[in-house]
Chains A and B, each alone.
Chain A
Amino acid sequence: MIAILDYGSGNLRSALRAFERAGKDVVLTSDYEVALEAEGLVVPGVGAFGACMQGLKSVRGDQLVRERLAKARPTIGICVGMQILFAHGVEHGDHQGVGIWPATVEKLEAKVLPHMGWNTVDAATGSSLFKGIEGESFYFVHSYGVSDLGKEQLSNSSTLASWTDYDQRFLAAIEDGAFSATQFHPEKSGDAGLQLIKNWVSTL
C-alpha cells in the first residue's frame, strides 16, 4: 500500500489516481502510523515553502519522514514536497526544512517565472526513476530550486542527481537510497510521468 501524505496541500486527487495506475492500493492520509507503515510514502507539496513546512509539521510529517529515513522506507517528495526535504528554503523568508539533504532551495534566476511547463531532464546515469524515459519531458511549475546540491556534504556518495535547465541549471530529481524526489510533477506529466511513477513503485 502507498500512502499520500495529506497535510492540506493542493490537488491530491490527480496524485492519488496516478499512483493507483501503477497497480497499488493508494490512500490519502494524515495518520502518522498509516503513513509510517506504508510500503511507499508520497510527500506532495504545492504553494510556498514555509506554508508547506508548517502544514507538514501540523501532522508531524517532519518526524515521520525522519523515522522513515532511519528505517530506510521508500519515500518520494514531489515539487515543494521535494524542496521541504532539504535543509533550508528562502521563499518569503528563511525557513528550515526537514533536512534530509543539506542544500538550500533558492529563487531561480530567470527572465520569466514561474518555470512553468514541460522540460526535458538530463537523467543521472543508472537512474531507476528515469529508466526507459530518459529523453521525455516532464511538467514543472516552480520559482525556487536547488542549484548547488553540496555533494561533498551528502552522507551517501552514490546519490544520483538529475538536472534540468531554464536560464540556469537546477535539480530535477534526486535518488538517494530509499529516498527520492522530483521537482516536476510526475502525476501531471502524461505517459512519461506515469512511467516514472511505475518505475518508483517497482522498487518498493
Chain B
Amino acid sequence: MTLSVRIIPCLDVTDGRVVKGINFTNLVDAGDPVEMASLYNTEGADELTFLDISASVAGRETTLDVVRKTAEQVFIPLTVGGGIRTVDDVDRLLRAGADKVSINTAALARPELIAEIADRFGSQVLVLSVDARRANTDSGFEVTTHGGRKSAGVDALAWVEKASELGVGEILLNSMDADGTRAGYDLGMIKAVRAISRVPLIASGGAGSQEDFAAALDAGADALLAASIFHFGIHRIGDIKGYLDRSGYPVRITGRA
C-alpha cells in the first residue's frame, strides 16, 4: 500500500469558460469547464482545480454554478481558487461542492485569514497558492502578485514557513518563471520548499514533457498540476500516468484491480 502521486489538471475559468495563456496573458478559449472536468475525470485525473480568474461579481457567481454542476457529476476532489477574501467566501464554495479552496493574494494582505479558515473548516480544506519567481531575496525566491507581474515584497520560503504555522493544509507552488513555457518545472524551487515544509506540495508551472513530471517528483513534489499540456492535447493524463507507472512511481490506474 502506497500513497499515489496525484496528477491535477488546472482549469482557469472566467465567465463560465476555461481559458489558458502563457505567463498569465494572451488568454485563449479552451472549453466548457464542466465538460472538461468530466473528461479529465474519465481520463484518470486524481483531483481537479478550478482557478476563477473572473474580474466581476457576475463572473464569480457563474463560477459557483460551474462548481455546483461539476460536483454533481464528478466524484473526485475539487479545489477552487481565485478571489477568496473571507471565511464566508470559503463557506459558499464548500456549500457549492468544493472540497478545498486555494487562497493567495488575500492571505498575503491579511495572513490571519489562514488561521480563520483553518479554525472553521480544518486545515485540510486550505491550499496556499504561492506564485513565486527567482529573485534577489534571502532564499533566492520571492512571492509575486497580479499573475507574476508584481513583487509582493515577501521572500517565498519565509512566507511558506509563516503560512504553515498559521495552518495551511497543502501548498500549491507555482513558478511564474516557468508558467506556460513547457520548459520543465522549477526543480530548485520545489526542492527548497520541500526542505522546509511538512504539508503536501503540489508543483505547478512549466510541465512540458513526461520526464518533467518525474523530475518534479524526484525534487520532492507530492502532486503535479498542469494546464495547457492537457487542454491542448499535448499529453493525455493516462499517458503521463503510464509513463510514471513504468518508471516506478506509485500512480492510481483505475480499473486495474
Contact = CB atoms under 8 A, between A and B. Distances in A.
Contact of B124 (A136, A141, A164): A141
Contact of A190 (B122, B222, B254): B254
Interface of B: 1-6, 41, 46, 68, 71-72, 75-77, 94-99, 121-125, 169-170, 198-201, 222-223, 252, 254-257
Interface in A1-27: 10-11, 13-14, 17-18
A148 interface: no
A46 B75 contact: no
Contacts, number: 114
Interface class of chain A by DSSP: mixed
Contacts of A193: 75
Given A114-B200, A116-B222, 8 more contacts: A10-B94, A13-B68, A13-B71, A14-B97, A113-B199, A135-B257, A166-B3, A189-B76
Nearest to A166: B3
A13 B75 contact: no
B2 A13 contact: no
B4 A118 contact: yes
A118 B122 contact: no
Contacts of B256: 135
Given A46-B121, A120-B1, A192 B254 contact: yes
A119 B121 CA distance: 23
Contact of A188 (B2, B77, B255): B77
A191 interface: yes
B254 A119 contact: no
A112 B5 CA distance: 13
Interface in A170-204: 185, 187-194
16 contacts: A11-B98, A14-B97, A48-B122, A112-B199, A112-B201, A116-B170, A117-B200, A117-B222, A118-B6, A122-B1, A135-B257, A136-B254, A139-B77, A163-B1, A165-B2, A191-B255
Interface of A: 10-11, 13-14, 17-18, 46-48, 51, 111-122, 133-137, 139-143, 163-166, 185, 187-194
Chain B interface mostly: loop
Q: Which of A11, A48, A135, A139 has the most CB of B within 10 A?
A: A11
Contact of B2 (A119, A141, A191): A119
Contacts of A143: 123-124
A137 B4 contact: yes
B200 A10 contact: no
A17 B97 CA distance: 10
A176 B156 CA distance: 49
B94 A116 contact: no
A129 B99 CA distance: 24
Contacts of B201: 112
Contact of B121 (A10, A14, A113, A187): A10
Contacts of B75: 14, 17-18, 187-191, 193-194
Contacts of A164: 1
Contacts of A114: 123-124, 169-170, 199-200
